[in-house]
């Protein structure tokens, strides 16, 4: 659908991450999944956009950061970034 990169920050055992991963995997988006437990820089990036918390899923599309977004919110951000 788009070549805009979707940064999908997650961690093992996160039910909200798994719930978002299902539609994301089927979306055709260019997704880079980053496990915050394996990447300290990724955990720091999540804290930066989530008021100091390591709340996942956090999704970043271009300059838009979303904490625990719905798939519809991610889809809208990808469409907006693709149009820009």
Residue with the larger pLDDT of the pair 2 and 37: 37
Predicted local confidence at residue 83, as pLDDT: 87
Residue 1 lies in a domain: no
Predicted local confidence at residue 2, as pLDDT: 59
Domain range holding 39? Answer: 6-82
Task: Count other C-beta atoms under 10 Å from residue 45's C-beta.
Answer: 18
Compute the distance between CA of residue 32 and CA of residue 10 in angstroms, rounded to an integer. Answer: 11
DSSP lists the bridge partners of residue 6 as 31, 61
Q: Which long-range contacts (CB under 8 A, 24 or more apart) does 41-48 make?
A: 42/9, 45/9, 46/9
Compute the distance between CA of residue 78 and CA of residue 47 in angstroms, rounded to an integer. Answer: 22
18-73 confidence digits (pLDDT tens): 999 999 999 999 999 999 999 999 999 999 999 999 999 999 999 999 999 999 99
Residue 61 lies in a domain: yes
Residue 53 lies in a domain: yes
Residue 1 has pLDDT above 70, yes or no: no
Residue 84 has pLDDT above 80, yes or no: no
Residue indicated by tokens 């979303």: 66
Task: Count other C-beta atoms under 10 Å from residue 7's C-beta.
Answer: 17
CATH code of the domain in which 10 resides: 3.40.30.10
Residue 79 has pLDDT above 90, yes or no: yes
Residue 71 lies in a domain: yes
Predicted local confidence at residue 3, as pLDDT: 81
Number of domains within the chain: 1
Residue 72 lies in a domain: yes
Residue 62 lies in a domain: yes
């Amino acid at each position: 659908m788009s070549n805009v990169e979707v940064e999908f920050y997650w961690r093992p055992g996160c039910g909200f991450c798994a719930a978002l991963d299902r539609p994301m995997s089927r979306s055709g988006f260019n997704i880079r999944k980053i496990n915050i437990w394996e990447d300290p820089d990724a955990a720091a990036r999540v804290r930066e956009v989530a008021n100091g918390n390591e709340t996942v899923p956090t999704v970043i599309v271009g300059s838009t950061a979303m904490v625990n977004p719905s798939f519809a919110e991610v889809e809208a951000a990808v469409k907006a970034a693709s149009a820009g």
